[in-house]
Chain A
Amino acid sequence: MAHAHHHHDDQAAYYLEQLCTIALCGALGGVCVLLWLHTYVWPPPEGQFSMLSLMLDPRFHTAVLFGGLGLLALVAVRAVGVWVESGRAVAHTHDHDHDHAHGHDHGHDHTHCDHDHGAEGHEHTHAHDQVHEGEAHDHGHEHGWNPLRYAVLLLPVALYFLNVPSKGLSFSEIHQTLEAGKSVAVKERDNVLDLDFKELKSAASSSSMREYFEGRTGRLKGQYVPSGQEKVFSLIRLKMRCCGADAVPADVVILAPQPVSGLKSMDWVEVQGVIQFNKRANRNEFVPVLQMDKISPTAPEPELYMQ
């Protein structure tokens, strides 16, 4: 019977779509929860960073967890709904095939409604794809099997299981063009300050702070990035406000007395040197600079990004 065949094709597409939606949304929800668990419950070994902390600022971590749990809850309820619907549809299709042996057309697509189809001359006015029990309004859905949508949706799930991203943003080289600074008199060489990027960046924009720091000796820990010049490189910390899309390097320029060798870009190092501030060429901005005395490899900071 042509009519019944048409019904079964649409029904198959509808259930295929529903099953794919449930599977993909469930997978995405599961990945969100796993991302959180691998950050807070099963954190990575020291010196490594969880995927979630590479991607997002901690303020968003709880939102990812709740987003994932919400998605899983939606999927669970929907799975039960589809299970019940499919059971009804199977029972109904048997009756339906029998009742429609006379060959009249109901003009609707799905067979999982349970109102009476037996009466001859009965007219349906549904303009939608799917009719629920007792309902006469449509939900504004497009049902139909569209594999491309699911292929796109699968992408973040696949990337998670391929364990990417596994590293923070990285840079091959950072070029800085600085104006020549005035010579700096060294102060209190034995008193070595423990510096951080935030403090130095903040000091660079304040004349009194620049005056305080200039000539003092400080120690700074960060990631090594070459500049293309032998005796100049940058020490950076990644700064992220929101997500990886806005992550930028906060950098301090290091002037080395000799070319530095044996380091790869993004290696963690500690540099000790005399602090100065040079004006960035063509910008109304000072850059902190260290005239390097010592450099040594070091362990990564516990947090990849600074706030």
Chain B
Amino acid sequence: MEKYVENFILIFTSIIYEALPFIVLGSVTAGMLEELVPQRFVTRIIPRSRALAIAIGGLLGLVFPMCECGIIPVMRRLLRKGVPLSTCVCYMLAGPIINVIVMMSTWVAFSAPPDFNKDQSLTVPGGQLGSAEMVSLRVGLGYLVAVGTSLIVEWLYKRHGNNLLLPLAQPTAGNESDDNGGPRRRLSNITETALHDFVDITVFLILGAFLAALSRQFLSHSDIVDLSMKNPAVTILLMMGLAILLCLCSEADAFVAASFTGLPAAPKLAFLVLGPMMDFKLYLMYTRIFRPRLIWTIILSVVVQVFVYSLLTHFVLQTWFTPAADGGAG
């Protein structure tokens, strides 16, 4: 029993301290956005075509690299500044995947050591891909899922409007003033907003970490591999479950995915695409911005799309990219 409690506390605190610096960064950015970026500037630069705005939203991570924890407070402030909900959702979902830091970490994680003489007899069908392929597939699938979900969100927004958002995330009705009382006052306002957002989001990070640590006591890394039983659909679903459970930062999750050497590439992709979009802590953080109707729409859309695209990827890789096995394993 003592071991379980110790392991639980270790996992719980490690998730918190891993995410905390990124939430601080996100909160400071949110405070600066709130105080320094005028709403009329934001509305001027957003393209009129909503489809174009969504497409650009999915690539914003290249300009403002943020991981999934830091992006939440930033997105809430962007919503208040008048950035369309669907564009914000696209940035929120794609930003933690389509950014230079995450792409580089994925590249490094899937680069095999130069002297690593892989045994072809152990190659899994549809299995090992190089770093360039993994980065491209992760970015491509992430973008597809984010844009698809945002189009659904846009349709939902046309029906329900700002009722999909909590009052704190609803756009301010242009009641901004240019006079903010000088730099000292501005600094005070930035810190007030940043600390407010930090507390608001960290509370839900802690609750999410608690849930994740609790569920890790019942399901381990090796259980997932044992349970997969070579059925690609089950393996993909299990890896998606693991992504929700582990609550890893998108900047480091590729190293964890790469460590599943016995699994094909598609379940790893499912893990890498779903994790930054949906896990226990993110679900609880979403409750500080969105109403339940919108949260469940996003979750359903993301989970279904990740599963379908990953399964399709698996069949494509299995059909066209499986290297010929060279000798038996025994």
Contacts and interface: CB of A to CB of B under 8 A. Distances in A.
Nearest to B173: A127
Interface in B286-330: 327, 329-330
A284 B262 contact: yes
A70 B246 contact: no
Majority SS of interface residues in chain B?
helix
Contacts of B185: 132-135
A35 B20 CA distance: 13
B9 interface: yes
Contact of A66 (B10, B21, B216): B21
A24 B199 CA distance: 9
B179 A140 contact: no
Contacts of A25: 195, 198-199
A56 B199 CA distance: 22
Contact of A165 (B6, B202, B259, B261): B6
A241 B191 contact: no
Nearest to A57: B252
Contact of B119 (A57, A66, A207): A207
Nearest to A128: B175
Interface residues of B, number: 80
Contacts of A285: 122, 262
Nearest to B116: A202
Contacts of A167: 6, 10
Interface in B118-143: 118-119, 121-122, 124
Interface in A57-94: 57, 59-60, 63-64, 66-68, 70-71, 74-75, 77-78, 80-81, 84
B17 A205 contact: no
B9 A245 contact: no
Interface stretch (A97-105, A153-161, A184-192): A153-161
Contact of B14 (A55, A134, A279): A55
B49 interface: no
Contact of A159 (B13, B121, B253): B13
Interface in B176-216: 176-177, 179-181, 185, 187-189, 191-196, 198-199, 202-203, 206-207, 212-213, 216
B248 A242 contact: yes
Interface in B99-119: 109, 113, 116-119
A289 interface: no
Interface string B62-94: 000000000000001100100000000000000
A116 interface: no
Contacts of A200: none
B15 interface: yes
Interface string A106-141: 000000000000000000000100001111111111
A156 B122 contact: no
B256 interface: yes
Contacts of A242: 18, 248-249, 252-253, 255-256
Interface in B138-186: 168-169, 172, 175-177, 179-181, 185
Contacts of A202: 113, 116
A210 B11 CA distance: 35
B172 A138 contact: yes
A259 to B, nearest CB: 23
B206 A152 contact: yes
A164 B193 CA distance: 31
B119 A140 contact: no
A166 B7 CA distance: 10
Given A24-B199, A205-B119, A244-B14, A169 B28 contact: no
A194 interface: no
Nearest to A52: B17
Contacts of B259: 239, 241, 246, 248
A289 to B, nearest CB: 15
A98 to B, nearest CB: 25
Given A66-B21, A164-B6, A243 B189 contact: no
Q: Which of A22, A208, A283 has the most CB of B within 10 A?
A: A283
Contacts of A149: 199, 203
B180 to A, nearest CB: 6
A245 B202 contact: no
Contact of A77 (B121, B191, B213, B226): B191
Interface of A: 21-22, 24-25, 28, 32, 35, 52, 54-57, 59-60, 63-64, 66-68, 70-71, 74-75, 77-78, 80-81, 84, 127, 132-142, 149, 152-153, 155-156, 159, 164-172, 202, 205-210, 239, 241-246, 248, 279, 282-286
Given A60-B252, A279-B330, 7 more contacts: A55-B14, A84-B188, A132-B185, A133-B181, A205-B119, A243-B18, A243-B249
Closest 9 pairs (CB-CB, A-B): A67-B21, A244-B14, A81-B188, A241-B255, A242-B252, A243-B14, A55-B14, A134-B181, A63-B21
15 contacts: A21-B199, A52-B17, A74-B194, A81-B187, A132-B185, A135-B180, A140-B34, A152-B206, A156-B16, A164-B6, A169-B10, A207-B327, A209-B117, A243-B14, A285-B122
